[in-house]
Amino acid sequence: MLEVKNLTFKVDADGVEKSIINNVSFVIPDNKLVCVTGPNGGGKSTLARLIMGIEKPSSGQIIFNGVDVTNKTITERAKLGMGFAFQQPIRFKGLQVLDLIRLAKGENINVTRACEYLAAVGLCARDYIDREVNSSLSGGELKRIEIATLLAKSSALSIFDEPEAGIDLWSFQNLIEVFRNMRKNIKDSSILIISHQERILNISDEIIVIKNGEIAEKGAKEDILPRLIGTNAAVSTCRKLA
């Protein structure tokens, strides 16, 4: 379970202190898929980076499975079971997909076991297991390989920062199915997705709406989503891929 308590993040903008995240509090229980959405520039991605330790909060607490991780490093959080998928997955020239999955797993697993993680994200293992994680892979392929590494890591909390960014419609449709399967098989873990996409929001259990660095509303998907897609403000929040 993740608990975020009174989290605040401020930056110095040309000598003026600016609040990016302001006194945000929420809980993500185990066995839940929670989406954070809201207008561009509202602080969603910053919130994800704070939770993972990429940014350090100005004040507040982040508690993961009973452990205060507020001042812990990214590595320490990863060892506790937190995983992060970037908007733009990192490319590793010279590193094969098999090596990346082994690194994520933390052991020298055989090809058959590594292929199981690729199959789980809808990739034909024999076509990818020996590929380099470089520019020869599309954005959609990289995102699915990154998800495969989180599955291999058996993350207790998997955080996805706008997974729809920069991928085509076909890859997006496959990505939705991957998230559906992750939600269906979730056990003693949780998933946090930062997203604008209505189809991703629709597979969540709960939705948190962030505006101007603050929580505008939060609750069950059945309560929040109809209000989002029923207002003009939701056009930017739940834009659809063309």
Confidence band for 238, pLDDT divided at 50, 70 and 90: very low
Q: Which two tokens stand for residue 170?
A: 């076909």
CA–CA distance, 240 with 190 (Å, rounded to integer): 25
Asked whether residue 53 carries a pLDDT value surpassing 50, the answer given is yes
Confidence band for 242, pLDDT divided at 50, 70 and 90: very low
CA–CA distance, 209 with 216 (Å, rounded to integer): 5
Closest to 6 (Cα-Cα) out of 82, 58, 76, 84: 58
Burial class (CB in 10 A: 0-12, 13-18, 19+), 54: middle
pLDDT tens digit sequence for 70-93: 999 999 999 999 999 876 667 777
Whole-number pLDDT of residue 88: 67
Give the three-state DSSP class for 84.
strand
Q: Residues 213, 22, 208, 176: is their CA dihedral positive or negative?
A: positive
Domain that residue 78 falls in: 2-241
Selected residue with higher pLDDT from 68 and 124 = 68
Confidence band for 112, pLDDT divided at 50, 70 and 90: confident
Lowest mean pLDDT: which of 56-60, 92-96, 185-189, 202-206?
A: 92-96
Whole-number pLDDT of residue 231: 55
CATH number of the structural domain spanning residue 10: 3.40.50.300
Burial class (CB in 10 A: 0-12, 13-18, 19+), 45: buried
Burial class (CB in 10 A: 0-12, 13-18, 19+), 206: buried
Share the mean pLDDT of the chain: 86
Whole-number pLDDT of residue 151: 83
Half-sphere exposure of residue 237: CA atoms within 13 angstroms, side-chain side: 26
Number of domains in the chain: 1
Burial class (CB in 10 A: 0-12, 13-18, 19+), 124: exposed
Residue % of the chain over a pLDDT of 90: 44
Question: Over the range 85-120, which residues count as b (16 or more CB within 10 Å of their CB) and which as e?
Answer: bbbebeeeeeebbbbbbbebbeeebeeeebbebbeb
Residue % of the chain over a pLDDT of 70: 93
Mean pLDDT of 189-196: 93
Whole-number pLDDT of residue 144: 81
pLDDT tens digit sequence for 130-181: 888 877 887 778 888 888 888 888 889 999 988 887 777 777 887 888 888 8
Beta bridge partners of 207: 35, 219
Whole-number pLDDT of residue 52: 95
Asked whether residue 232 carries a pLDDT value surpassing 70, the answer given is no
Residue 221 zone, left/alpha/beta (φ > 0; ψ -120 to 50; rest): alpha
Sheet architecture: strand order including 16-28: 16-28, 2-13, 59-64, 67-68
Asked whether residue 236 carries a pLDDT value surpassing 70, the answer given is no
